[in-house]
Structure 1
Amino acid sequence: MSNTPSVWQDIARKGLWQQNAGLVQLLGLCPVLAISNNVVNALALGLATTLVTALSSATVSSVRHWVPHTIRNPVFIMIIASLVTCVDLAMNAWLHELYLVLGIFIPLITTNCIVMARAEAFASRQPVREAAWDGAMMGLGLTGVLVALGALRELLGKGTLLAGADKLLGPAGQQLTLHLAGADYQFLLMLLPPGAFLGLALLIAGKNVLDARARQRAAAATYPAPDAEASPAP
């Protein structure tokens, strides 16, 4: 694969928008819907997934010539599981409170369809740098969806933003919490699983609207409307 800037931009565009794992491919919906009840949880899980996706894609790409085709998938899963274990232990050691909140969803990154799909569809066929970049962009695309959905649900459900930021950023994170509604405000629907489905549906609809407008602008630029006939001179 060529290393021209357009190639890197194309990979980034596909991972962040055109083939977004959460809004287009609809992969990894279990953590997206379960953890996205606030921004901090969503951001933490998204970054952990991004780290695993980037590192696993780079590792898979680096060993792809030495792995027989018949055992390729078990080897890929072993690589992913090893990286997830490292992330799980690191979060338990340094972000223990957040680790307790995320719970089983950190080990479940091993079975996340996004990680395995990129290892199989892209990393196993591309050089290391392109594979790592693709994994990072796919992970960041999912992280963006998680954060947007978490912000929507937290804002509508509790009237706050960045609640519990100290679990991720330490004591300084307490200053980042925004209270945008009264202390008694709560919209329980957005904090429960139905709210996750409704929020994700709104995000998907919003992306579809933006894509439709972009196609219309592109079509108008390619096929401009004919100029109106000049009025006859008096």
Structure 2
Amino acid sequence: MNTTPRRILEYGVSSGNVGLVQLLGLCPLLAVSHNTLNALGLGLATLLALVLTNLAVASIRRLTHRDVRIPIFATVIAAVVTAIELAMRAWLPELHAVIGLFVPLIASNCALLGRAEAFASRQSPARAAIDGFAAGLGFLWVLLAVGAIRELIGSGRLFAEAGRLLHAPWLEWHPLPGYEGLLLATLPIGAFLALACLIAMRQAWRQRRSVDS
């Protein structure tokens, strides 16, 4: 693939989006996205894990024998995710208490091993870090979109409890005062419906672009 920074960013955020196109990492995406704050926390943790994993893999790619590269990559991913989980437990204990169960699952996200094997192991550390950032940013915006849709429809709020969990009450937003909410959006099926709507919107946009061109 073309490895210019612009192309790498476009692929990770749009055309090769981990959550919307490749449909990887759906377990934490669907489980944690019942509100925007949890989605933001897990999305940022995944973005950081992708950047650090890609950077580490690219840095040791010349020292890694081809026959043992997958176990080594898996070990690197596990070490990075463990460090992120411990840091979150130390500095953001309230948020960790809510999404901490899902942070270790980042290590099982196929996107991390996929980007490490397909890109980072063949590129310079700088390009690998950009690729990890792009893939993480793509996953983050999909996670945030699903979380925002579910929280807004489910309760009429966005970033509820940001004051308690992040000590940032200014993030809390109530755009629909008096709205009682729709329970369906907060249930697990709401995550599938929200993601399906995003995929359908993307497909419709792509078809319209192809017709216009």
In the superposition, the TM-score normalised over structure 1's length comes to 0.87
| Pairing of 1:68-217 with structure 2 (within 5 A) | 68-167=65-164, 169-170=166-167, 173-182=168-177, 185-217=180-212
In 1, are the aligned partners of 2:85 and 2:100 still within 8 Å (CA)?
no
Give CA deviations for 1:130-168 in whole Å, capped at 9, x if unaligned: 111001100000000000000000000011011122255
Tell me the residue number matched to 1:231: none
2:34 is aligned, of 30, 33, 37, to: 37
Question: Aligned partners of 2:132 and 2:91: how far apart in 1?
Answer: 24
Instruction: Name the SS of the counterpart of 2:100 in structure 1.
Output: helix
In 2, are the aligned partners of 1:61 and 1:125 still within 8 Å (CA)?
yes
In 2, are the aligned partners of 1:36 and 1:42 still within 8 Å (CA)?
yes
2:54 is aligned, of 57, 69, 80, to: 57
Q: Out of 68-77 and 183-192, give the one that drifted further.
A: 183-192
In 2, are the aligned partners of 1:42 and 1:150 still within 8 Å (CA)?
yes
Within the alignment, does 1:19 sit opposite 2:16 as a pair? Answer: yes
Question: Aligned partners of 2:99 and 2:147: how far apart in 1?
Answer: 14
Give CA deviations for 1:59-99 in whole Å, capped at 9, x if unaligned: 10111111111111111011111111111011001110100
Structure 2 unaligned spans of 5+: none
In 1, are the aligned partners of 2:115 and 2:132 still within 8 Å (CA)?
yes
Counting aligned pairs with the same residue, the percent is: 47
Tell me the residue number matched to 1:227: none
In 1, are the aligned partners of 2:58 and 2:122 still within 8 Å (CA)?
yes
Give CA deviations for 1:151-188 in whole Å, capped at 9, x if unaligned: 00000001101112225542xx2132122335571311
Taking only aligned residues, the RMSD between alpha carbons, in angstroms, comes to 1.6
In 2, are the aligned partners of 1:44 and 1:168 still within 8 Å (CA)?
no
Question: Aligned partners of 1:109 and 1:2: how far apart in 2?
Answer: 27
Task: In structure 1, give the amino acid aligned to 2:88.
Answer: M
Going from structure 1 to structure 2, the CA distance change for 1:184 and 1:206 (only over 3 Å counts) comes to closer
In 1, are the aligned partners of 2:52 and 2:129 still within 8 Å (CA)?
yes
Give CA deviations for 1:90-146 in whole Å, capped at 9, x if unaligned: 100111010010022101111111111100111111111111100110000000000
In 1, are the aligned partners of 2:163 and 2:172 still within 8 Å (CA)?
no
Pairwise CA distance, 1:212: 1.6
Instruction: Name the SS of the counterpart of 1:34 in structure 2.
Output: helix
Structure 1 unaligned spans of 5+: 220-234
